[in-house]
């Protein structure tokens, strides 16, 4: 039996009114019911917006094109900002945000690519997106397709060993169509002494570190040249509330 992606309904004309960055928090509120959002829930918001608004060659019209850019949300937990961006860009309808997490909703607490138009991978369990993106980068390269792959990973997620199989291989294979963004809010339980970017660089990646809230700096980092190397952008965010776990662990 061939597993196939179900035919998803296209957004109704006029119902997916694209909107801008200023609307994103309201679109998040439609999912959570909260008027305010803590820094953790918006840690990915600016990175996602800059990617979808300024960098990715991807739109609802090109989502089935073989040579489109692809974005893989590996850190699938807390996807409200992601869904808000997908709605703002017209991949899903804004009214679909209302049922977030419900039995009849396509929008779960972790995204499912078979349910959400525009979601390129299903995620939730940590440490799967970057390895999948390596495979996709290899597949695009083998077919001489021009598309690039972007994957968003959390700094805590890098604790998962599967990422390190992917980081080492991608660097050595010179996968220059592969891009990773690490949201660094210091949430890794034991931290990454020396810096996440230094570790990727040692494995052969191009690596930059910028503020995760500065749209201009993010765009510049995302579009920097990185010939013959995969590219990492570490987006620095406010420290997550759980950061003292490192100190607690050390007594």
Partner 1 sequence: MDTMRERFAAVTTELLDHDRRLAVVLAAISVDQFRAAWLRHPDRVIDLGIREQLLISVAGGLALTGLRPIAHTFASFLVERPFEQIKLDLNHQGVGAVLVSAGASYDVSAGGRSHQSPGDVALIGTLPDWKVHVPGHPDEAEALLREAASGDGLVYLRLSTEANQQPLWTGRAGATVIRRGDRGTVIAVGPTADAAIAATDGLDVTVLYLATVRPFDAAALRDTLGRPDVVLVEPYLAGTSGPAVNDALAGIPHRVLPLGVPLPELRRYGSPAEHRVAHGLDAAGLRARISSFLSV
Residue ranges binding partner 1 (CB under 8 A)? 1-5, 66, 70, 112-114, 120-122, 124-125, 127-128, 131-143, 145, 161-162, 165-166, 168-169
Q: Which is nearer to partner 1, 54 or 57 (CB)?
A: 57
Report the alpha-carbon distance of residue 210 to residue 127 in Å, rounded. 23
Minimum CB separation of residue 123 from partner 1 in Å reads 8
Among 186, 203, 188, 163, smallest CA distance to 238 is for 186
Minimum CB separation of residue 132 from partner 1 in Å reads 4
Q: Which is nearer to partner 1, 46 or 120 (CB)?
A: 120
Minimum CB separation of residue 70 from partner 1 in Å reads 8
Minimum CB separation of residue 141 from partner 1 in Å reads 6
With contact defined as beta carbons under 8 Å apart, do 99 and 130 qualify? no
Minimum CB separation of residue 73 from partner 1 in Å reads 13
Q: Where are the beta strands (DSSP E) in 48-134?
A: 70-73
Q: Which strands make up the sheet holding 178-184, listed edge to edge?
A: 70-73, 149-154, 178-184, 231-236, 206-211
Q: Which is nearer to partner 1, 38 or 67 (CB)?
A: 67
Residues 6+ apart with CB under 8 A from 53: 21, 89
Q: Which is nearer to partner 1, 5 or 36 (CB)?
A: 5
Integer angstrom CA distances of residue 67 from 48, 113, 207: 20, 18, 25
Q: Which two tokens stand for residue 176?
A: 């220059």
Report the alpha-carbon distance of residue 56 to residue 71 in Å, rounded. 8
Q: Which is nearer to partner 1, 166 or 217 (CB)?
A: 166
Among 148, 169, 156, 107, smallest CA distance to 127 is for 156
Minimum CB separation of residue 211 from partner 1 in Å reads 30
Report the alpha-carbon distance of residue 250 to residue 143 in Å, rounded. 49
Q: Which is nearer to partner 1, 53 or 165 (CB)?
A: 165
């Amino acid at each position: 039996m061939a597993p196939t992606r179900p035919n998803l309904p296209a957004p109704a004309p006029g119902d997916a009114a694209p909107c801008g960055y200023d609307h994103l928090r309201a679109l998040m509120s439609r999912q959570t019911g909260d008027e305010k959002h803590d820094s953790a829930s918006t840690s990915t918001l600016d990175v996602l917006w800059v990617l979808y608004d300024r960098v990715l060659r991807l739109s609802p019209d090109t989502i089935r094109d073989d040579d489109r850019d692809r974005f893989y949300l590996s850190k699938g937990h807390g996807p409200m900002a992601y869904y808000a961006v997908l709605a703002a860009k017209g991949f899903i309808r804004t009214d679909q945000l209302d049922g977030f997490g419900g039995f009849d909703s396509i929008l779960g607490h972790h995204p499912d690519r078979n349910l959400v138009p525009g979601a390129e991978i299903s995620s939730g369990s940590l440490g799967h997106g970057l390895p999948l993106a390596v495979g996709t980068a290899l597949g695009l390269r083998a077919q001489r397709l021009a598309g690039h792959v972007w994957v968003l990973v959390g700094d805590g997620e890098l604790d998962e060993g599967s990422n390190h199989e992917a980081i080492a291989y991608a660097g050595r294979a010179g996968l220059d169509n592969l891009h990773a963004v690490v949201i660094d809010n210091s949430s890794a339980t034991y931290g990454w002494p020396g810096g996440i970017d230094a570790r990727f660089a040692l494995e052969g990646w191009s690596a930059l570190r910028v503020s995760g809230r500065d749209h201009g700096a993010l765009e510049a980092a995302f579009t920097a040249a990185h010939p013959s190397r995969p590219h990492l952008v570490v987006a620095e965010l406010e420290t997550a509330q759980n950061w003292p776990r490192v100190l607690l662990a050390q007594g």
